[in-house]
Amino acid sequence: MTAAPLPRRLLAEFLGSAFLAATVIGSGIAAASLSPGDTGLQLFENAAATAAGLFTFILMFGPVSGAHFNPVVSLVDAAFGGLRWRHAFAYIPAQIGGCIAGAVLANAMFSLAAISISTHHRASPAHLLAEVVATLGLLLVIFSLARTRRGEMAPAAVGAYIGSAYFFTSSTSFANPAIDIGRIFSDTFAGIAPASVPPFIAAQLVGAALAFGVIRVLYPDLTPDEAAQAPFPHGEGAVISSVGS
């Protein structure tokens, strides 16, 4: 299977990221409306919708782009040789733009101002530690499946991991710099204040660096072709092995 042309992959990354942000933010708005005053139930509704959404979005867009939807996934994939660096740096703006578009869309679907800057400050030391852990775990899931050629399980595994991490991390597991930026633009249940985003991104990059090291130790024979099939099998690996990175 050959790789889709880069513009088609970038469109898949943009759309998948937009759907992801719309799901995270939209379900948070709905949860706050449906279950006022019950934060635990609101979080459960938000987590369930996000986990189910991830399952379907990876299935929808994975065969085209691999369904990264996340800059740290693209960067670690490039570090393992599974994605050309220039393609990784093209994926990232598409992911960020998609998440911003998804936030605006979620606001509009619930008759809110299209853009409202969040005032929800989240960057406590505990939250930042949680983001390191959440990002580390997410990347371990993705690349362990790639190494063991079980990428077809990524939709369920990634969705299940993020759904659980909503509850076992104090930060509710953002684990994604693009979604950090997108959530700035919605002053709702799932939003994050702009001042909290740089520390969140820094924590996620630390988690990504740790994940790279841990994966190297656990799976020292991870090949570029295997990494290229993360999170979901698509055609990138065949191109990298034949043309070079």
Question: For the chain, how many structural domains are there in total?
Answer: 1
The residue assigned the tokens 């986990």 is 51
Residue 243 has pLDDT above 70, yes or no: no
Half-sphere exposure (Cβ direction) of 174: Cα atoms closer than 13 Å: 34
Burial environment of residue 132 by CB neighbours within 10 A (0 to 12, 13 to 18, 19 or more): buried
The arithmetic mean of pLDDT across residues 125-149, rounded, is 97
Task: Answer yes or no: is 183 within a domain.
Answer: yes
What pLDDT sits at residue 244? 35
Structural domain including 215 reads 6-240
CA distance 56 to 159: 9
The verdict on residue 245 lying in a domain is no
Token representation of residue 158: 């990634």
Non-local (6+) Cβ contacts of 103 within 8 A are: 21, 22, 25, 182, 183, 184, 185, 186
CATH classification at residue 160: 1.20.1080.10
Residue 13 has pLDDT above 90, yes or no: yes
Q: Which residues contact 40 (CB under 8 A, 6 or more apart)?
A: none
* SS3 (DSSP) at 174: coil
Q: How confident is the model at residue 234 (pLDDT cuts 50, 70, 90)?
A: confident
Give the pair of three-digit tokens for residue 146.
């790639």
Instruction: Map residue 184 onto helix, strand or coil.
Output: coil
Confidence band (pLDDT; 50, 70, 90) for 3? Answer: confident
Say what the pLDDT of residue 236 is: 52
> From the centroid of its chain, how far is CA 147?
19
Question: What local confidence, expressed as pLDDT, does residue 242 receive?
Answer: 30
Domain membership of residue 50 (yes or no) is: yes
Q: How far is residue 244's CA from residue 204's CA, in Å, rounded to a whole number?
A: 29
Residue 1 falls within a domain, yes or no?
no
Residue with tokens 């983001």: 131
Q: Quick one: pLDDT band at residue 2, thresholds 50, 70, 90?
A: confident
Q: What is the pLDDT of residue 208?
A: 98
CA 122 to CA 191: how far, in whole Å? 9
**pLDDT tens sequence across 172-217:** 999 999 999 999 999 999 999 999 999 999 999 999 999 999 999 9
Q: Inform me whether the pLDDT recorded for 237 exceeds 70.
A: no
Q: Is residue 1 pLDDT above 70, yes or no?
A: no
pLDDT tens digit string along 107-125?
999 999 999 999 999 999 9
Q: Is 141 inside any structural domain? A: yes
Within a domain: residue 150? Answer: yes
Per residue in 40-77, pLDDT (tens digit) is 999 999 999 999 999 999 999 999 999 999 999 999 99
- Stated pTM of the model: 0.93
